[in-house]
Amino acid sequence: MADKGETGKRRIAIVHYHLRRGGVTRVIEAARDVITARGDEVVILSGEPPLADARQSGVRVVPALNYRKTGSPVVAESLAEQLKKEAVEHFGGLPDVWHFHNPTLAKNVLFPSVIRELASQGERVVLQLHDFSEDGRPGNYTSQRSFFDSETSFEETLYPVAKQIHYATINRRDHDFLKAAGISAANLHVIPNAIPDLAVATTPGERPFSRDKLFALYPSRGIRRKNIGELLLLALIYGDRIDFATSLKPENPDWQRVHRDWEDLAVELKLPVTFGIAEGDEYSFLDLLGWSDFIVTTSIAEGFGLAFLEPWIIGKPVMGRDLPDITSDFAANGIGMGNLYRRIDLPIEWLDEGELMAAIESMLRRSYLAYNCELPRSAVKQTLKAWVKKGRIDFGVLSETFQIEVLRKLRENPAFLDSLSIPPLALCPEREIAERREIIRRVYSLASYGDRLAEMYDRVSSGAVGKVTHLPTRKVLQQFLNPSRLNLLRN
C-alpha cells in the first residue's frame, strides 16, 4: 500500500448507505469538495448511485451497503473485503482513512461487523454519528441487536474501541455523551456541518400573499418531533398579525394521519396556518424563504440545528423554541439565541392529573421496554420534575391529545391566555442580523469545515494501531434513555 508520503495525497474513503437527498448526503458532498480542493483524494462508497441531478464524481456503488435488516457475520466479512477491493481499484491502494457516516444507526445491520473487521486488520476508521438509534429509535436498536446470535456479540461490536478508531459528532452534546460513556477524548472530534450560502433573491415586499400581515415560514416536514401543535399555539396567539406556514407534509403514513388531525384543527379553530406550502409547483422553497419576514421553529429535537443558523445567512431572524443541547454550541461561538424561548408554561391544573400520570407512565414503560431495559422506580417522578416548574408544565412536552385540549380551551376562552407564558416574537434590527450572519459565515464556512476535517484526518492517519475492544452499549444507551430527556411527542 502506498502511503501519503509516497503520493503526496491523503486518500479518504467515505462510506454511507446511499446518496439520496438529505442532510447526510449534503455533508458527504461538502466533505468531498473541501477534501479534493486541498489536493487529497476521495472515493465515496454508496449502496446506490447518486440521483440523476447530483454530481457523480468519485462515487462507486456497492449494493450491499444499502439498507438491510438481515445478514450474517460471513456476509459482513465479505462486504469488508469488497469495500477494500473497490478502494484499491480507485486509489491503487488502501485508504489512509475510512470515514463511515451513521454506522451505528442500524439502517444496515452489517455495518458494525464490517467496521470491526477493518479495524482488526489495522485499518484506520472514523465513525461519524449524526443520529443515534438510542435516541428515540428503538426499532433500529432492536434490529441491530437481533442481527447477532448473542447479547455479548452485540455489546462487543456496536461501539468498537481501539487507537485506530475515532468518533466524530456534529454537536458537543453527543461528544459529551460518548465521552461519558467511555470513549477516549483523544479519539473524539466535533465536526459541525458547514452552512453554505443560499441563492435567495426574493424579498417580503414581493410576496404574492399575506400583504397586510407578517409571514413566518417553518422550513420543515411536519413530523411529530417538529411539534406542530405548538405552531398552532403561536398562530392562535399571534394570528391577527402573522400568517404561518410549514414547507412540507410528512411522507410516513402514520405521521400523515396525525398531520391531518392538525390540518383539521387549524380549520376548526380558524388559525392562519398553511401546511406544506412548498409541496406543489406554485411556490419555490427559495422564494418562500425570501418572502418570509422571519423563520419559526417549534421542534423539540434536532441533531445539528441547521434551522437555527441557515436563516441568518439570508438575513432572516429565527424565532421559536430553544434547544439548549444544540444552541449552546452556537452561543460558544458568539452566536446569540436570546430571541428563542425555553418553555411555554401553562397551569398543570388545566390537564387531568390522572390522564397525565397515566400517559407519562405508559410512555416510560414503552420506551424502556423497547430498549429491553428495566424502568427505574423513580422514573415518573424524575420526568415530572423536569416537566413541571412551580405548578406549571411546558406545552412542548405534551402529546397531541393534551395539546389539542389546551388549544380548544384557549380558543373557547381567550382570557385563559393571561395564564400562559406568552413567548416573544420580536423582529431583530438589521445590525444584529448582519452581525450574526458574519459570525456564522466565518465559523461554519466550508473552509472552516475543511480545516476541522484535515485536523481529524491527520490525527487518525498518523496515530497508533492497537487491539480492538468495545464500549458497552448500555453506557451509550443510558445517556439518551433518561426520564428527564423523554417527551410525549417522541417516545
Express each pLDDT in 408-422 by its tens digit.
999 999 999 999 999
77 and 212 both lie in a single domain: no
Torsion of CA 139, 141, 142, 146, to 10 degrees: 140
Q: Quick one: pLDDT at residue 217? A: 98
Residue written as grid cell 384557549: 410
Q: Quick one: pLDDT at residue 1? A: 37
CA angle 303, 304, 306 (to 5 degrees): 120
Q: Quick one: pLDDT at residue 347? A: 98
Query: Which pTM does this prediction carry?
Result: 0.92
In a domain, 120, yes or no: yes
Residue 14 confidence (pLDDT) above 90? yes
In a domain, 415, yes or no: no
286 and 184 both lie in a single domain: no
327 and 452 both lie in a single domain: no
Residue written as grid cell 404561518: 244
Which tens digits make up the pLDDT trace of 54-99? 566 789 999 999 999 999 989 999 999 999 999 999 999 999 999 9
In a domain, 400, yes or no: no
176 and 241 both lie in a single domain: no
Handedness of CA 106, 110, 112, 118 (dihedral sign): negative
Which tens digits make up the pLDDT trace of 17-58? 999 888 899 999 999 999 999 999 999 999 999 876 556 678
CB 32 within 8 A of CB 11: no
Q: Quick one: pLDDT at residue 53? A: 57
Q: Quick one: pLDDT at residue 5? A: 41
Domain housing 286: 204-344+422-436
CB 265 within 8 A of CB 287: no
Q: Quick one: pLDDT at residue 51? A: 77
Residue 4 confidence (pLDDT) above 70? no
131 and 27 both lie in a single domain: yes
144 and 169 both lie in a single domain: yes
Which tens digits make up the pLDDT trace of 220-231? 999 999 999 999
Which tens digits make up the pLDDT trace of 175-221? 999 999 999 999 999 999 999 888 999 999 999 999 999 999 999 99
Residue 3 confidence (pLDDT) above 70? no
In a domain, 407, yes or no: no
Ranges of beta strands (E only) in 214-352 are 214-221, 242-248, 273-274, 294-297, 318-321, 340-341, 345-347
Name 11's bridge partners. 41
In a domain, 199, yes or no: no
Total number of domains constituting the chain: 2
Percent of the chain surpassing pLDDT 90: 87
In a domain, 372, yes or no: no
Q: Quick one: pLDDT at residue 338? A: 83
In a domain, 358, yes or no: no
Q: Say how many C-beta atoms besides its own lie within 10 A of residue 478's C-beta.
A: 16
Q: What is the CATH number of the domain that holds 76?
A: 3.40.50.2000
Ranges of beta strands (E only) in 173-262 are 188-190, 214-221, 242-248
Q: Quick one: pLDDT at residue 196? A: 86
25 and 104 both lie in a single domain: yes
284 and 426 both lie in a single domain: yes
149 and 210 both lie in a single domain: no
65 and 160 both lie in a single domain: yes
In a domain, 353, yes or no: no
213 and 121 both lie in a single domain: no
Residue 290 confidence (pLDDT) above 60? yes
151 and 257 both lie in a single domain: no
DSSP secondary structure letters along 359-413: HHHHHHHHHHHHTT-PPPTTHHHHHHHHHEETTEEEGGGS-HHHHHHHHHHHHH-
Q: Which of 53-62, 260-269, 360-369, 393-402 has the lowest mean pLDDT?
A: 53-62
Q: How confident is the model at residue 130 (pLDDT cuts 50, 70, 90)?
A: very high
Q: Quick one: pLDDT at residue 150? A: 84
Q: Quick one: pLDDT at residue 2? A: 39
Q: How confident is the model at residue 125 (pLDDT cuts 50, 70, 90)?
A: very high
Which tens digits make up the pLDDT trace of 354-386? 999 999 999 999 999 999 999 999 999 999 999
